[in-house]
């Protein structure tokens, strides 16, 4: 049930401002350097090395980048930004680039093809970077005309994933979704309402020259125009805001915790949503953060202190059926299950996931998700609320899990997510279940279902 420990569930930029200070922040920094089309040979070599390590798909791309930056501290923000932006650009359009450069193209060739076609560099920009033979090859790539492509090729997706998405979207829908997933994600903040209101956050950021606007969906959200360094900003240091995707913030609103309640974040990870729930409870009641990773829970503790929360109780468990959970059976007012998943809704931030995932990984996740939801449901009191959520786009991880659960647990009844959000001032036409899509809502892809346990159960 630990999202963070599983390599398939990797969410840079959603956990802390420290993430925005790494690869997420670097992407925008690199755009200017790419546009100039003038980089050193040394930077080109480093980018090639990083891309090669990423394309081995042994570790998440952001972890590879972070490791490289730690090992090469002499790199400035601009060079880090160039490397990160370039690597993520190649990952997003990898299938297209391999059609241009060949299925067996080396990382160096993929980079040259990306600069030539993805960034549109003129031939003069390759002088000093590529040999005469390579420049001839680049010229041929620039002139190449690709023939008819399959849907998966046009969408820059693996065949299996395009086929799965066709179960929920038509071809035009898959292409529109893929285009949304192939754009870099914006940087969203969540105002910590325990300490500050959103308007004050907006005002303070603008005074500091940071372009910021209120989020369109979440009343707690602030969206930044760029990716500024935030980890040393006074409002971050005093816990007035956290980095959290606006779509993720809606999950907390679906839980809708109240003062004095007993609330459980069943798959807490490093606690991004835990912090939101605690603030909504005004640091009253008891909020349990369960996870199987001691390391991740340890990271939650300083964040709790910074956020001013005293009602959060991190609890390490061995698995979803840990004996520690038995004493809480039927006592929780609200339980959030932000389940481990393939993370395919986060491809804007983690484009490597579409190449690292597989049908077998989906099947493994589905079995895990069903078991976790059933275990979490045992904690909900009669009349309490259960929220199941993922950042996946696949029906088998979302609706299928909920339908199977409801069929096996008739004491739980669905509640319309649209109505829950409307009661909190969020007008969103979504119907019974939350479905957020990057090309429609400009958030990560999220799914959530709200269920209430019958009062007489």
- Return the residue matching tokens 């005004």: 282
* Contact present, 217 and 443 (Cβ < 8 Å): yes
DSSP state of 184: P
Which of the residues are catalytic? 391
- What 8-state DSSP symbol labels residue 225? S
Is residue 278 within 8 A of residue 261, CB to CB? The reply is no
Residue 352: both structure tokens together: 């490597």
Looking at 188-343, list the stretches that DSSP marks H as alpha helix, in order from N- to C-terminal side.
198-207, 234-237, 246-255, 272-280, 294-307
Measure the CA–CA gap between 215 and 164, rounded to whole angstroms.
Answer: 31
Q: Which residues make beta-bridge pairs with 385?
A: 334, 452
Which residue in 267, 177, 253 sits closest to 221, CA to CA? Answer: 253
**Bridge partners of 457?**
none
Q: For the packed helices 94-101 and 77-92, what is the interaxial angle rounded to 10 degrees?
A: 80
Across 161-200, the runs of DSSP E, i.e. the strands, are: 187-191
The Cα 270–Cα 94 span in angstroms is: 31
d(CA 179, CA 252): 28
Q: Locate the DSSP E strands across 19-97.
A: none
Angle at 107 between CA 104 and CA 110, to 5 degrees: 75
With 0-12 / 13-18 / 19 or more C-beta atoms within 10 angstroms meaning exposed / middle / buried, residue 439 is middle
């Amino acid at each position: 049930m630990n999202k963070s420990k599983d390599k398939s569930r990797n969410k840079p930029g959603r956990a802390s401002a420290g993430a925005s200070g790494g690869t997420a922040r670097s992407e925008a920094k690199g755009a200017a350097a790419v546009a100039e089309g003038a980089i050193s040979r040394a930077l080109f070599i480093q980018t090639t090395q990083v891309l090669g390590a990423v394309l081995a798909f042994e570790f998440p791309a952001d972890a590879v980048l972070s490791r490289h930056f730690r090992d090469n501290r002499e790199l400035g923000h601009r060079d880090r930004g160039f490397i990160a932006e370039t690597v993520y650009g190649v990952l997003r359009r990898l299938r297209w680039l391999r059609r241009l450069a060949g299925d067996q193209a080396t990382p160096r060739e993929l980079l040259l093809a990306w600069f030539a076609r993805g960034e549109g560099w003129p031939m003069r920009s390759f002088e000093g970077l590529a040999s005469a033979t390579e420049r001839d090859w680049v010229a041929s790539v620039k002139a190449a005309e690709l023939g008819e492509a399959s849907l998966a090729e046009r969408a820059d997706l693996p065949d299996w994933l395009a086929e799965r998405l066709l179960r929920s979207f038509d071809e035009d829908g898959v292409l529109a979704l893929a285009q949304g997933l192939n754009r870099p994600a914006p940087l969203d903040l969540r105002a910590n309402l325990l300490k500050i209101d959103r308007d004050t956050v907006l005002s303070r950021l603008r005074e500091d020259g940071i372009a910021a606007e209120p989020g369109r969906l979440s009343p707690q959200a602030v969206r930044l125009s760029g990716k500024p360094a935030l980890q040393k900003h006074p409002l971050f240091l005093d816990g007035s805001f956290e980095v959290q995707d606006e779509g993720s913030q809606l999950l907390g609103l679906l839980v809708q915790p109240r003062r004095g309640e007993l609330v459980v974040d069943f798959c807490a990870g490093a606690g991004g949503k835990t912090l939101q729930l605690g603030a909504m409870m005004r640091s009253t009641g008891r909020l349990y953060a369960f996870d199987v990773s001691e390391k991740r829970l340890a990271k939650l503790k300083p964040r709790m202190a910074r956020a001013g929360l005293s009602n959060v109780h991190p609890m390490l468990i061995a698995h979803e059926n840990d004996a520690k959970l038995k004493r809480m059976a039927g006592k929780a007012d609200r339980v959030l299950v932000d389940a481990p998943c393939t993370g395919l809704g986060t491809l804007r931030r983690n484009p490597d996931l579409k190449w690292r995932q597989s049908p077998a990984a989906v099947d493994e996740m589905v079995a895990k998700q069903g078991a976790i939801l059933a275990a979490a449901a045992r904690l909900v009191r009669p009349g309490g609320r259960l929220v199941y959520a993922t950042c996946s786009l696949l029906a088998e991880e979302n609706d299928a899990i909920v339908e199977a659960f409801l069929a096996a647990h008739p004491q739980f009844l669905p509640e319309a997510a649209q109505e829950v959000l409307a009661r909190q001032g969020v007008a969103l036409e979504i119907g019974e279940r939350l479905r957020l899509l990057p090309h429609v809502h400009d958030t990560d892809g999220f799914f959530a279902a709200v269920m209430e346990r019958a009062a007489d159960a």
